[in-house]
Structure 1
C-alpha cells in the first residue's frame, strides 16, 4: 500500500495520527540497522579489496539495494534526526550535534529535545499502530521516550553522562543481550515491533577485538587503517547476530529490514583518536561524507536487486517504512517510498545541507549553514554560503560529475554552465534561505 499524503506539513506543527490500528497479522516488524561513520564503499559487496562484510553482503543479496543512496547532512545528530523524522534538518530544527549556547547543560540540550518532539517521529507513529519499539545505540534526543519508543537503553540525563546514547552505547561493543531479549519478548507477546539498532560502530574509538585487529594487521599497513578495517568487520558481525536471531525466531519473512549509514568516514593513516573522518569524509559536503548504500529487505514483497542508477535518500526511509507497513499519516513528507521503483526512477534530484557542528539558533537554520547541495542525474552542484573556510567543501560554487568522478576532484562548472544553472534553479526552488 502506498503512502497517501493528505495534508501539507507545517514546520513546527505537532501531528495527530488518528488512524485505525491494523490487525496484527498485517503488521510486519521493522528493523533499522544503522552504521556509524563508515564510507559508502567500505563493504566487500561494493568492491572493497580488504574489508570483509559477509553478513551485510548476505543482506544485500536479499535486498533492494540503492547504491546511490545519500544522507542530507554528514554529521551524526542531524543525520539521525532526518532519518527518524523524515524531514530535512532545516525543517526539523536539528542541524548540528550541540547547541552553541549552554551546549553541555541540561537546559541547553532540553531546548533541542523539545524542538525534536514537535516533529513526526517514526517510533511514535508506529506506536499508534500497536507496535512496541526498542532504542539501542546512538540516540541524541534525550531519553528514548522522546522518540516514542516503548523501551530503550538511553536515559539522556546530562548530569549522568547523557549526550548521544550513554548506556545505549554498550550495544554491539559490550553486549547484544538487550536487543535479543527485546526480540524474544515481542515474539512471545505476539506483537509487531520496531527495533532501532544503531551502535557506535565502526565509530571511534577504534578498539576492535584483538582477533579482528590481527586479521587486518600486515606489514606496510598503518595500524590506524588496520583498526578501522577491523571495526567495519566487527560491525558486520553484530549485524549478523541480529539477522540470525530473526531467522532463529522464524520472523525474518515478516520483517522489514532497512540498512544504511549515518555519514561517511575516511580514515587517515597518520591519525587515530583525533581523526575526524576527513578531509572529505564526515562533516564534508562531498560523497565521502554524504553517500551510503540504502537497502530494503522484505521477503515476498520486495524483489532483491541492485539499483545502480536511481537516487535515494535517508529522507525516504520513513515513507518507505510506512508504505511497507500500510500506515497513512497527514504529513507531507519530502521523501518517497523506495518500494515504488517507478517513482524512484522518475525522481530528478535529491538535496542536502551541511551545517556547523554547534547550532547557533534552531529557529534560524541559515545562521549555521555552510553548504547546500543537489544531485541531478550524473551531476552534483555544491553551493557554499562562505561561512566555512573550505575544510569540508569548496569555497566557490562547484559542479562535479559524480558518476565519472566519484572522488569529486574535477570541478567542471566552466565546461557546463548550463547544467550548473539548471541545478541551481532546482536547488533554490527546494530551499533558498535568502528568500523570505
Structure 2
C-alpha cells in the first residue's frame, strides 16, 4: 500500500488527469541490448554479422544516426532510460549499492501503468540492492534474469518475486516471455521493456555461450580491428595506467553469435505483432545500454568517454509517425526515451525529467528544445579493473561535452589529464589536441560549454567520497 500511496502522490504532483474519453493509445516495446556497439549490426555496417530482423525495424522506421548514452555503464544507463534523468540527478551512479538505482524513483513504466497500460519488464536489471530478486514498482509482470547463468542454458529467473528454473537458452526464454505477454495483453495498451543480458561480455567460452543453433556461426571469419586498436596512447594520459586485456578474435565471434540469438527473438516478436494485427499499432525502439571496446585505445569493457563506449544504435518503428527508410542526424540521448514515450502515450512528462521528446524529429524537425552540445558523465566504479602499480583502480571519474565537431574530456579526479578531439578530422580519437597551442581558444570554449551544461542539468559535482587509487596517490 505504501508504494501505491507514494505513486499517486507523485502523479498528482507531476501530472494532470488524462481525458476521460477512450483514446486508442499505442503499445510500446523498448529493446535495450546489453553492450551493443553502434556499428555492431548488419544495417550499421558490420562486416559479417547478419541481423535481418533488427535491420527490418530500421528499414521500416527511422535510424537515429547520432544516439548516445549519458553514462556508459549498465546500471546508470538503465536508470537514465527509466527516469529520463542523469545519474547525478537520479542517484544511480554505479551498478551497486549504495549508489545504485533505488525503488523510490519515478519511472516511465510507473506512469504508463498508472495511466492504464499493462507493463512488463524482461531481462537484466542489475542496479542496486536486490536488483535481480525483488520486483520493482511499475510492472505488472516482472521476469528478471539473475546474474548467474544468464547468458546461457537453463537460467534461474525471478518471475513476479519467485525464483523459477527454466530449460533452454536465456535469450530465447526472454524473447518467448515477450511474445507471451504481447499475446496475453493484445487488447492493449501495453508496454514491454526487454533488456536481454546478451551480448554483455564476460570473456571465456563459458560466459559467451550462444544458443546451440548459432554456436558455429562465423568460425572462419577473420576479425579486422579498428584503426585505433593499435594507435599509441601517449597523448591519452588517463589510459596509460589502466590494465586491460582486449577481447580475442574468438571472443568477438562469440559476441556476434549471441547477437544472432537476439535477432532471432526480435523476429518472433515481430511475427507475433503481425499475427495479432498489432505491428503498426506499436512503437518499437531498439537500442543498446552502452557500447564496448574491441581493443580500441587498448581497451576492453566500456566506461571511457570515447565513441565506441558512448555511442549506440537507435531505431524507431511506428508507421503512424515514422516514415519507413528515414534517417535523422539529430543527436539524441538515452534520457530522451522516457519523455518521448510518455508524450506519445498522452501522459504528462514530470517536470524533473531532463530528457527531451524526439517526437518532432519524426516529422523532420529537431528536439522540442534543441541542444547545442551533449553532456556525458562517469563516476568511478572499479569493477575488477586494475591500475598499473597502484592496485585496485581502473577508469577514474570524468565529465565530457560533445558538439558535432569537438569533444572535450575532463578527468575530474586528476588535474592535467584533459583531452580534446576534432571528431571530423579524427573520428577514432587518437590525436589529443589539448597541448597544441593553436587550439587554446577551442579548449577554453569547450571548458565553458562543459560548465554551462553542468549548470543547465543541475550537476552538483561528485557527491561521494572517492576511494580510487588515483585519488589516493595523486592528492
Query: TM-score of the superposition, structure 2-length normalised?
Result: 0.73
Q: 2:157 matched to which residue of 1? A: 167
Matching residue of 1:238? 265
Q: Tell me by how many angstroms 1:112 deviates.
A: 4.7
Distance in 2 separating the partners of 1:331 and 1:145: 26
Q: Equivalents in 2 of 1:239, 1:72: separation in Å?
A: 26
Please name the residue that 1:333 is paired with: 353
* CA gap 1:305/1:374 in 2 versus in 1, 3 angstroms: farther
Unaligned runs of 5+ in 1: 1-12, 100-107, 270-276, 360-367, 389-394
* Shift in Å, 1:118: 3.1
CA contact (8 A) 2:35 2:292 kept: yes
Q: Based on CA coordinates, which of the two structures has the bigger radius of gyration?
A: 2
Q: Which runs of 4+ in 1 moved over 4 A?
A: 168-171
2:109 partner SS: helix
Per the alignment, residue 193 of structure 1 pairs with: 190
Helix, strand or coil at the partner of 2:409 = strand
RMSD across aligned C-alpha pairs, in angstroms?
3.2
Superposition pairs for residues 337-416 of structure 1, below 5 Å?
A: 337-341=357-361, 342-344=365-367, 346-357=370-381, 370-386=397-413, 396-413=417-434, 414=436, 415-416=438-439
Identify the match of residue 141 of structure 2 among 151, 159, 176: 151
Q: Name the structure, 1 or 2, with higher relative contact order (CA <8 Å, separation 6+).
A: 1
Q: What residue is the counterpart of 2:220 in the other structure?
A: 218
Partner of 1:317: 337
Deviation at 1:306, TM superposition (A): 4.5
Q: CA deviation at 1:155?
A: 8.9
Contact 2:291 2:310 in 1 (8 A): yes
Cα separation, 1, equivalents of 2:352 and 2:294 = 38
Aligned counterpart, 2:236: none
- Structure 1 residue 417 corresponds to structure 2 residue 424: no
Per-residue deviation, residues 408-427 of structure 1 (Å, max 9, x unmatched):
11123324332222222121
Give the deviation of 1:29 after TM superposition: 0.5
- Cα deviation for residue 328 of structure 1 reads 0.9
CA distance in 2, matches of 1:409, 1:308: 27
Q: 1:410 to 1:71 in 2, by over 3 A?
A: same
Q: 1:315 to 1:127 in 2, by over 3 A?
A: same
Deviations 1:130-186 (A, max 9, x none): 001111001135356424111111398x9x999xx9616975244533222211111
Distance 1:403 1:250, change over 3 A: farther
Name which of structure 1's ranges 330-339 and 194-203 shifts more when overlaid on structure 2.
Answer: 330-339
CA distance in 1: counterparts of 2:180 and 2:173, whole angstroms:
15
* Corresponding residue number in structure 1 for 2:126: 140
How far is 1:27 from its partner?
Answer: 1.1
Bigger Cα displacement from structure 2, 400-409 vs 43-52: 400-409
Judge conservation of contact 2:29–2:192 (CA < 8 Å) in 1. yes
- Residues in 2 aligned to 1:179 and 1:331: alpha-carbon distance in whole angstroms: 31
Output one character per residue of 1:204-251: Cα deviation in whole Å (capped at 9) or x when no partner: 321113442322001755322221221222222222221221112111
Distance 1:182 1:358 in 2: 37
